[in-house]
């Protein structure tokens, strides 16, 4: 199988491109470039030139903002089949947030210069991007609501479920400091909540991280409303 054919197959598997004509996906596959990032590696920083949209093929990415004083706010987590930086396909502007690989990440880059002419020619592709923008806005609203209104234990349960879902062994391998940043809480408060989860039989520590011993219980906690 040629590289272009393999890239076309990957695009076919992304929900973003459902309904996009085959001819458009063929051209996208010809323009796509593979990217790989190690766990913890910055993918881009706020203000960096917006080269194009990144489509995550495998792994988990954290979108976040940071102040000069070091305070951070998580805007969302992006996983397999989801895009990052899709706005740059339209305006070619700078990155509006930071993106950091939480796990090893495999992705595709679709450059603004290559895709912008195709958007003008293919209304189905333009519609797919508009739907993606709308979904991103909804997720960002949900994240802001969670940070401002939901209790820490509920946010933490949801984060643990998401992190374990992308690990081949179903473990949460991230250090507590990183988990604290994901749920917008201090490390001592996260440590206290994890201790309570352990006492309730929801999680247990193992050498490589945390194992979710009661995923259903965590899911019930995360979905409380």
pLDDT, tens only, 24-40: 889 999 999 999 999 99
Q: Residues with Cβ < 8 Å from 154, sequence gap 6 or more?
A: 146, 221, 222, 224
Distance CA 124, CA 113 (A): 19
Q: Residue 10 pLDDT more than 80?
A: yes
Identify whether the C-beta of residue 83 lies closer than 8 Å to the C-beta of residue 15: no
Distance CA 147, CA 184 (A): 7
The more confidently predicted of residues 72 and 118 is 118
Q: How confident is the model at residue 147 (pLDDT cuts 50, 70, 90)?
A: low
Give 16's DSSP letter: G
Q: Residue 72 pLDDT more than 80?
A: no
Question: Facing residues of 76 across strands?
Answer: 63
Q: Residue 199 pLDDT more than 70?
A: yes
pLDDT, position 86: 86
Please tell me the number of Cα atoms within 13 Å of 135 on its side-chain side.
Answer: 14
Identify whether the C-beta of residue 8 lies closer than 8 Å to the C-beta of residue 1: no
Task: Of 213, 149, 153, 181, give the one whose Cα is nearest residue 75.
Answer: 181
For the CA atoms of 208, 209, 213, 217, what is the dihedral angle to 10 degrees? -160
With residue 131 as reference, give the H or E element that holds it. Answer: helix 123-149
């Amino acid at each position: 199988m040629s590289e272009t054919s393999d890239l076309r197959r990957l695009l076919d598997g992304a929900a973003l491109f459902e309904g996009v004509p085959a001819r458009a996906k063929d051209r996208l596959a010809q323009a796509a470039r593979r990217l790989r990032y190690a766990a913890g590696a910055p993918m881009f920083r706020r203000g960096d030139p917006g080269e194009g949209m990144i489509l995550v093929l495998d792994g988990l990415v954290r979108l976040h903002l940071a102040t000069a004083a070091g305070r951070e706010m998580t805007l969302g987590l992006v996983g397999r089949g989801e895009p990052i930086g899709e706005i740059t396909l339209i305006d070619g502007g700078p990155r509006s947030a930071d993106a950091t690989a939480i796990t090893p990440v495999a992705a595709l880059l679709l450059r603004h210069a290559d895709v912008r002419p195709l958007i003008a020619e293919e209304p189905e592709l333009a519609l797919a991007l508009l739907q993606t923008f709308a979904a991103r806005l909804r997720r960002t609203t949900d994240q802001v609501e969670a940070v401002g209104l939901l209790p820490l234990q509920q946010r933490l349960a949801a984060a643990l479920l998401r992190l374990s879902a992308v690990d081949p062994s179903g473990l949460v391998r991230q250090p507590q400091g990183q988990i604290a940043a994901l749920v917008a809480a201090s490390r001592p408060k996260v440590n206290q909540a994890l201790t309570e989860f352990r006492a309730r039989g929801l999680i247990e520590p193992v050498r490589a991280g945390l194992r979710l011993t009661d995923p259903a219980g965590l899911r019930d906690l995360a979905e409380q409303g």
